[in-house]
Structure 1
Amino acid sequence: MALKATIHKAQLQIADMDRHVYGEHNLTIARQPSETDERMMVRILAFALNAPADDLRGKLELSKGLADAEEPELWQRDLTGDILHWIDLGQPDDRRLLKAHGRAEKVSVYGYAYSTPIWWAGIESKLQRCPRLAVWQIPAEQSQALAALAQRSMQLQVTVQDGGIYVSTAESSVEINPIALKRPADE
């Protein structure tokens, strides 16, 4: 008998002063049995960092993620179904990223393991022709501290200012300082 996903709820308040994006989002996260708290929390963080200021070009959505290998972890699709932003986590292979780059206006990857620099060094040269690709490393000790905030029902405040990210609950907070491994050509 297959194990079912565990449902987590997150009330997410975003104050992104760098992008001038402010809002509240109620997320329902289907955490697959193979997904760790760390990966789930990085997925929530990626949502907060990429939530659009409005829904005029479509909403950012959590996809089926690990349950469907053909979908990213998050994506923003316009009203016609075209993919505006494809967001993956971890260390996807270069073929997956090239395919995503061909399908989406923008592609972002958030790596969070100690081995992220090694993974990136192995595929970086294959992705030089991807001008719309952004690759970020969340330092492993910070993503692990973020995982400690995970609960079945969460109220999270995400504040972004001057490139620094602060994720807070009523009890504690974590500072995240992502490292840009690759930025899009237009930035």
Structure 2
Amino acid sequence: MALKATIFKAQLAVADMDRGHYADYALTLARHPSETDERMMLRIVAFALHAHELLAFGKGLSDPDEPDLWRHDLTGLIEEWIALGQPDERELIKACGRARQVTVYNYGGGATQWWAGAEGKLARAKNLQVRRLGVSGDTAITTLAARNMNLNCSIQEQTIWIGNGELTVAVESTTLR
């Protein structure tokens, strides 16, 4: 019997000073059985960085043809394709052909090595942005994870502060491309 996804709910208040975007979102996340709390929380951070009323979570790990987040315009065209981790270069090139903008949020121990190997292969993808997320004390962000979350996220000068009222975690965002 296959394991089912675990459902998480989050009330997210976003204050993005870089974009001048301030809004509240009610999010429902399905965490794949193989997904870690860190990755799930970084999906919420990625949502906050691109917050928009049409931005939605994709099937992510459950379907390799869908990103972690995406935004379609009203005609169904893909405006944004957002992936986390170290996606396959061929899949990213295919995504660049399907979406106006593709963003990868690279994180974790092997992130630098992945980018070193993928950078040359992705040079022709003009609508691709690659960013590295670094969490001070990688386990700290996992302490925010709960089945029902009430989160605040402030973004200023590529630094993201996400917290639940008791704990706030800083996430640094560095643009690699």
TM-score (normalizing by structure 1): 0.91
- Where in structure 2 are the equivalents of 1:33-182 lying within 5 Å? 33-52=33-52, 55=53, 59-139=54-134, 141-182=136-177
Query: How many angstroms apart in 1 are the aligned matches of 2:159 and 2:116?
Result: 25
Tell me the secondary structure at the aligned position of residue 125 of structure 1: coil
1:162 Cα offset (Å): 2.0
The aligned amino acid for 1:106 is: Q
Contact 2:86 2:114 in 1 (8 A): yes
Query: How many angstroms apart in 2 are the aligned matches of 1:67 and 1:150?
Result: 20
The structure-2 alpha-carbon separation of the partners of 1:143 and 1:26, relative to structure 1 and needing over 3 Å to count, comes to farther
Given the alignment of the two structures, is residue 9 of structure 1 paired with residue 9 of structure 2, yes or no?
Answer: yes
Query: How many angstroms apart in 1 are the aligned matches of 2:136 and 2:168?
Result: 14
Report the counterpart of residue 32 of structure 1 in structure 2.
32
Tell me the secondary structure at the aligned position of residue 148 of structure 1: helix
Tell me the secondary structure at the aligned position of residue 7 of structure 1: strand
Query: How many angstroms apart in 1 are the aligned matches of 2:113 and 2:96?
Result: 22
Contact 1:167 1:175 in 2 (8 A): yes
The aligned amino acid for 1:169 is: N
| Amino-acid identity (%) | 51
User: Aligned-pair RMSD on alpha carbons?
Assistant: 1.2
Query: How many angstroms apart in 2 are the aligned matches of 1:15 and 1:44?
Result: 14
Query: How many angstroms apart in 2 are the aligned matches of 1:27 and 1:45?
Result: 12
Report the counterpart of residue 185 of structure 1 in structure 2.
none
1:160 Cα offset (Å): 0.7
Which whole-Å deviations, capped at 9, do the CAs of 1:54-108 have from their partners, x for residues lacking one? x4xxx00001111111100000001221100000000001101100001000000
1:175 Cα offset (Å): 0.8
Unaligned runs of 5+ in 2: none
Which whole-Å deviations, capped at 9, do the CAs of 1:109-133 have from their partners, x for residues lacking one? 1111111010000010111111211
1:144 Cα offset (Å): 3.1
Contact 2:136 2:171 in 1 (8 A): no
Unaligned runs of 5+ in 1: 183-187
Count of residue pairs brought into register by the alignment:
177
